[in-house]
Amino acid sequence: MAHIDSHTDSHTTTLHTEHRTRVALPEDTRAALGVILNERLADFLDLERQAKQAHWNVRGPRFAPLHALFDGVAALAVGWADDIAERAVQLGCVAEGTTPCVAERSELPPCPLNVARANDWLHVVAEALAYCANATRADIRDAVAADDDVTADLLTRITGEADKQLWFVEAHLEDR
């Protein structure tokens, strides 16, 4: 579980689970998977915010389709984050999705407040989606190595769905 130290307000991650569970995996395995899941939780929650920033601020002749596309990515990112958080809790860990946790842990490139062209928003969202999909893809191997088929299946589904959304976003790019 990760917790906030009341004296320093810094986030620290320790390898133990917070909650008892009858999930038939060793505690250290569940804790290690919880750390991974919380890392992805931060990334997918950040993806949702970045897609919403693009959704709100995109302008130009392609406004309507891009506005809808970015809103769809944001909605899916929230669903993926929810599934990831719930899996962490199923493993006996704490889902760490607060704003400070997301700000500290997200590995996504920072999102600008505004950009000059609609195509720039496509690049922002494509980069964030690609990072999330590729990081999650790498985590599948860790879940398989930990003999946790349920987490591996969840991450595989999310990766496939994120790859599909990346394809949709990249299809709108004027330049690659």
Q: Which two tokens stand for residue 108?
A: 């996504």
Q: What is the CATH number of domain 2-171?
A: 1.20.1260.10
Q: Which two tokens stand for residue 70?
A: 């970015």
Yes or no: say if 152 and 139 are a contact pair by the CB < 8 Å rule. no
Yes or no: say if 41 and 81 are a contact pair by the CB < 8 Å rule. yes
Q: What angle do CA 136, 31, 140 make, to 5 degrees?
A: 20
Measured torsion, CA atoms of residues 165, 170, 171, 172, in degrees rounded to the nearest 10: 110
Q: What is the pLDDT along the chain (176 residues), one digit of tens a residue?
A: 333 233 334 444 445 678 888 898 999 999 999 999 999 999 999 999 999 999 999 999 999 999 999 999 999 999 999 999 999 999 999 999 999 999 999 999 999 999 999 999 999 999 999 999 999 999 999 999 999 999 999 999 999 999 999 999 999 998 75
Q: How many CA atoms within 13 Å lie on the side-chain side of 79?
A: 12
Residue 3, helix vs strand vs coil: strand
Overall pTM surpassing 0.75 (yes/no): yes
Q: Which residues pair with 2 in a beta bridge?
A: 13
